[in-house]
Amino acid sequence: MSIFYFIAFLSILFAVLVISAKNPVHSILYLVLTFFTFTIQYILLNAQFLAIVNFIVYMGAILVLFLYTLMLINLNKDSEPMKTNLVKIAAVLGGGCLLVVLVGALKVLGISQPVILKNPDLGLVKNLGKVLFNEFLLPFEVSSLLLLSAMVGAVLLATKDKKTTA
């Protein structure tokens, strides 16, 4: 349990550093560390497959792409556009709303019974695969359709100009 609290503390620390870091590249690197702590949490929960997928997909692919894009952007301070007051006020309002919701949610939160899995090995690959391809086959396939549509959309966006120019 003490490992959990330590890792949880680290996750929150790195998450705070993500938004407080001045340099965007640093903040991405803190995000990487945050995701790494999540991976450890998954391992502590005996969800090995989820842990490793989080590791590969988020840390290994998505954040590399984030870093990749950030490196290509000119990050000089003088090229940063000045935020208008309207944007600032909107940000304050949005953040305030989120805070209110969070506080409200925490207030009604009672201490529930800790969830005990019937099968503690549910997170292992074999069991997860069986569950995904039997019980949750429809949602699984629907989500894959969703990804397919996203891919088609990306291809469409990338080839749109050709018709107008050619």
Partner 1 sequence: MGTTDIIVKFILIVIIFLISLVVAMYSTYAERKIAAFFQDRLGPSRAGPFGILQPVADGTKMFLKEEIIPANSSKFLFIVGPSLAIMTACIGSAVIPWGQTLVIGSYHLDLQVTDINVGVLYLFGVVSLGVYGVMIGGWASNNKYSLLGAIRAASQNISYEIAMGLSIIALLMTTGTLSLKEIAAQQHGWHWNVVYQPLGFLIFIICAFAETNRSPFDLPECETELVGGYHTEYSSMKLGFYLFAEYINMFISSAVMSTLYFGGYNFPFMHSLGLSDNWVTILGVVALFAKIFFFIFFFMWVRWTIPRFRYDQLMDLGWKTLIPLAIANIVITGIVLTLIK
Min CB(124)–partner 1 separation in Å? 6
Min CB(142)–partner 1 separation in Å? 21
The alpha carbons of the chain give a radius of gyration, in whole angstroms, of: 21
Residue position matching structure tokens 């840390």: 59
Task: Give yes or no for a contact between 45 and 123, defined as CB atoms under 8 angstroms apart.
Answer: yes
- Give dist(CA 45, CA 25) in Å, integer: 31
Interface pick for partner 1 out of 13, 29, 44, 131 (rule CB under 8 A)? 29
With a CB cutoff of 8 Å and minimum separation 6, the contacts of 4 are 41, 44
153 binds partner 1 (CB under 8 A): no
| Helices 125-133, 137-165: inter-axial angle, 10-degree rounding | 80
Interface segment toward partner 1; rule CB under 8 A; list 5-13, 48-56, 100-108, 132-140: 48-56
Min CB(13)–partner 1 separation in Å? 17
| Contacts to partner 1 by CB under 8 A | 23, 25, 29, 32, 48-49, 52-53, 55-56, 59-61, 64-65, 67-68, 71-72, 124-126
